[in-house]
Amino acid sequence: MVNAKVLLTTTFIASTVFAQGSAPAPLAPPSAGAPADVSVKQRPTLTPEEMVNQSRDYAKSMNEVLKRIQVLQDQAKRDKDIIRLNCVTDKVVQVRVNISIAEQSIASLQEAVTRNDEGERVHEFTRLTIVNQKVQVLGAEAENCIGEDLSFVGATKVDVEIDPNIPQYDPTQPPAPGIDIERPGEASPLTG
Amino acid sequence: MNRLRLSLSIAIAVTGFARAALAQEVTIGYQGLPYKATGESNTGIQVSEGVLLHVGAGAEAGYDTNVFYAESGTETASPLIRTSVFGDLSNATRTGSVGKVQFDLRAGLTYRRYQSDDVNVQRFSNAWMPTAGVALSTGGGQFGFGLADTFARLEDPPYAETGPVPITRYNNQASIEGRWAPGGGRLTATLRYTNMIDIFSEESGYNYANADSNYLMLDTAWKWLPKTAVFLTAQQGYIFYLNDALATANGKASSFPLVVSTGLRGLLTEKTSGTLALGYTNGFYSGGFSTSGFWGSTYADVSFTLRPTMLSRVVAGYRHDFTNAVIASFSYNETVYASYVQQIAGRLALDISGRYSHRNYQGQFVDMAQADRSDDFIQAGATLDYFIRNWIYFGVGYSILNNSSNVVAVDYLKQQMFVRLGLTY
């Protein structure tokens, strides 16, 4: 039990440190008369191996998003919810396109690492990061696709009020069969 | 409801010969014991899923002013009691809704007893009158099918108090029909075959009139409003007598009555419905005589039903037609009738109805001394029932039958008054 707590704590701290990346070099105090460097540092500080590993994580994450959206698509098909299905299908198409772009970027990234081309490597990693973010957004949008539950007003319902004075039977039908039988008249002494 | 109208024939037996169905949904004359509470539907025994049983029993005690339908001054009066039991099995639910297939089985038994010291009355004091009926209807969309059968045994004292036996009559009416309603029901066609076998007991003196009546009807209608239609109906009948020799000896001849009519039926306003029918009719009697002349070949039926409130109904109508007669070949009939039904709070039920019929007998007469006989017949009934609960009721009733004729010795005035009590569930 104690070991597990130690492991969790260590993992948490390590993750935090990793997420922060390497500590930037401390800025030199501005000297009088020297211009201040106000440019934004956009270059990643990941090593080539870390970039490749991160790109794999991105690819895995994007495929999970695609699987999740496909589940939503099947669910919409089963529910015959055409409105939601259209919305989710649109997200699926966009996610597939982005995954295709990501796959190209991963391949280019690996080639750049092999060639030790830092500019190409950073470019492809940056593109991959942006594509991954787009896929994550599309996944969130797919989850929020609204179906008939909220927008469909339901099947047409007609309420008919019939005046209670109107007879329930159908008065247009021919009279029911039935021949009146009456006491015969007095015909002759025989009938007495 | 219209398809499963079994109550008519059965009720006739319960009340003697004192009811007639004229308009589409009304019976005229004394109303028999109710089989269901007024305005209540929450009764019936759920025998199984989809099968409901109604049962009931009732008794009427009253007074008959003219047991033998005798002329004024010669009447014989008597107290009487009438009891009846019935059972009704159907797939209707307590709320009235049923499936696509509807069935109704009904049976009842009425016992009538005259409580009199008069020897002549005592000879006819007891009468047992069973009834039974079955109806099946299915469909309701484009195609439909229905069949029904009702049986009744009727028994009534003879005209002469010295008569040997009562007038006992066995009547069975069966019908089968197919319905077709293409175009979402705007057009409807009904093809129906109806058979009636009418048999009098041999000693009654009327057994020469034992007859088998057959009718084939084709009704087509176009609903130009949801509950209003223009219709064209053609009905061809074939009536023949079961005892040929006896029938011939009494001037009875088979016939092929035809009625072709057209008109309008259904709702006129939200609260008013009606039937307007006009057409051609002919008896086509095989004995060399038949209905004739413009008016004699005219069939007319006009009726209006008004429902002023949910709990009341007024019906009025007029009919001109001819009917096959027992004492002659046929009679031209001019009939006017009216009915008023009022329910109060689902507990009280009032029913008042009556009709006047002028009957002009034609053709061959059983008793030729009655040639050119013409009767004015009045029939009316009133009942008032109060349902203490939806399964028990008590009430009062009144019935009057009056016949006035241009032939001697056939006039009569018969009145019956009742108090009644019954259970129905």
Q: What's the one-letter identity of residue B357?
A: S
Measure the CA–CA gap between B182 and B81, rounded to whole angstroms. Answer: 52
Chain B residue numbers with beta carbons less than 8 Å from the beta carbon of A184 are: 167, 206, 209, 326-327
Select, from the ranges A20-24, A73-77, A151-155, the one with the highest average predicted confidence (pLDDT): A73-77
Closest in A173, A187, A191 to B2, CB measured: A173
Whether chain A has a CB inside 8 Å of the CB on B16: the answer is yes
Q: Which of B21, B267, B327 sits opposite A187 (nearest CB)?
A: B327
Assign 3-class secondary structure to chain A.
CHHHHHHHHHHHHHHHHHHHCCCCCCCCCCCCCCCCCCCCCCCCCCCHHHHHHHHHHHHHHHHHHHHHHHHHHHHHHHCCCHHHHHHHHHHHHHHHHHHHHHHHHHHHHHHHHHHCCHHHHHHHHHHHHHHHHHHHHHHHHHHCCCCHHHHCCCCCCCCCCCCCCCCCCCCCCCCCCCCCCCCCCCCCHHHC
Contact residues on chain A for B150, CB-CB shorter than 8 A: 178
Check pLDDT > 70 for residue B130. Answer: yes
User: What ipTM, to 2 d.p.?
Assistant: 0.81
CA dihedral (B34, B36, B37, B38) positive or negative: negative
Nearest to B163 by CA among B128, B198, B199, B203: B203
Cα dist. A60→A27, A44, A57, A132, B229 in Å? Answer: 37, 21, 5, 10, 74
Please determine, for residue A2, whether its predicted confidence score (pLDDT) is greater than 60. Answer: no
Beta strands, E only, B283-329: 298-306, 312-324
Q: Say if residue B107's pLDDT is above 70.
A: yes
Contact A183 B16 (CB under 8 A): yes
What b/e readout covers A167-181, taking b as 16+ CB neighbours within 10 angstroms?
Answer: beebbbbbbbbbbeb
Secondary element (H or E) of residue B151? strand B143-156
Out of B2, B154, B158, whose CB is closest to A192? B158
| Exposed/middle/buried for residue A27 (C-beta within 10 Å: 0-12, 13-18, 19+) | exposed
Q: What is the pLDDT of residues B302-326, one digit of tens each?
A: 999 998 888 899 999 999 999 999 9
Q: Which residue has the higher pLDDT, B95 or A183?
A: A183
Q: How much is the pLDDT for B155? A: 94
Contact A165 B154 (CB under 8 A): no
Mean pLDDT of B366-378: 92
Decide if pLDDT at A15 tops 60.
Answer: no
**Percent of chain B residues topping a pLDDT of 70:** 91
Tens digit of pLDDT for each residue in B79-95? 999 999 999 998 877 66
* Residues 6 or more apart in contact with residue A81 via CB below 8 angstroms: A147, A148, A149
Q: What is the distance between the terminal CA atoms of chain A, rounded to a whole angstrom?
A: 117
Q: Rounded to a whole number, what is the largest CA-CA distance in chain A?
A: 153
Say how far apart CA B292 and CA B262 lie, in whole Å: 20
Interface of A with B in 161-190 (CB under 8 A): 163-190
